[in-house]
């Protein structure tokens, strides 16, 4: 009976080790996926017209210079927010009084990472 319990405990020990290994692998896979999502987000943001992108930790600040059509610029900002899952639109400024505008109409928005 003792041998049967020992064999059974080894099976449970093996199953526990397998579950722990799978959990670690899943977390590593998730980290790689989020890193790729962040890379694609930055790449897509840089395709917007007259844009500069600045990263600060998990936050991304996007500035679109020389805005001539404010509705199109806001539409582009909305699409940009959707291109970056895991980030939320935190701040939006459209006009000539935004930080860094220098008397030109710009669109500046900040995407906060989670």
pLDDT in tens, the chain (114 residues): 777 777 777 777 676 777 677 777 788 888 888 888 888 888 888 888 888 999 888 889 999 988 889 898 888 888 878 888 888 888 899 988 888 888 889 999 999 987
Q: Two tokens at 49?
A: 């017209």
User: Can you tell me the distance from the alpha carbon of 21 to that of 71, in angstroms, rounded to the nearest whole number?
Assistant: 50
Q: Would you call 71 helix, strand, or coil by DSSP?
A: helix
> Inter-axis angle of helices 70-83 and 2-45, to 10 degrees?
160
> Looking at the whole model, is its pTM more than 0.95?
no
Q: How many CB atoms lie within 10 A of CB 9?
A: 10
Which position has the token pair 């001539």? 68
Q: Two tokens at 22?
A: 């799978």
Which domains are assigned to the chain?
2-113 (3.90.1150)
Looking at residue 107, its pLDDT comes to 92
Which position has the token pair 């610029």? 73
Q: Would you call 91 helix, strand, or coil by DSSP?
A: strand
């Amino acid at each position: 009976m003792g041998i049967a319990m020992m064999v059974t405990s080894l099976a449970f020990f093996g199953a526990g080790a397998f579950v722990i290994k799978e959990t670690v692998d899943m977390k590593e896979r998730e980290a790689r996926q989020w890193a790729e999502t962040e890379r694609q987000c930055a790449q897509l943001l840089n395709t917007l017209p007259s844009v500069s992108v600045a990263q600060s930790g998990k936050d991304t600040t996007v500035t679109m210079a020389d805005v001539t059509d404010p509705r199109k610029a806001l539409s582009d900002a909305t699409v940009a927010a959707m291109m970056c899952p895991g980030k939320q639109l935190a701040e939006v400024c459209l006009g000539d009084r935004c930080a860094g505008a220098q008397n030109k109409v710009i669109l500046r928005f900040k995407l906060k990472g989670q």
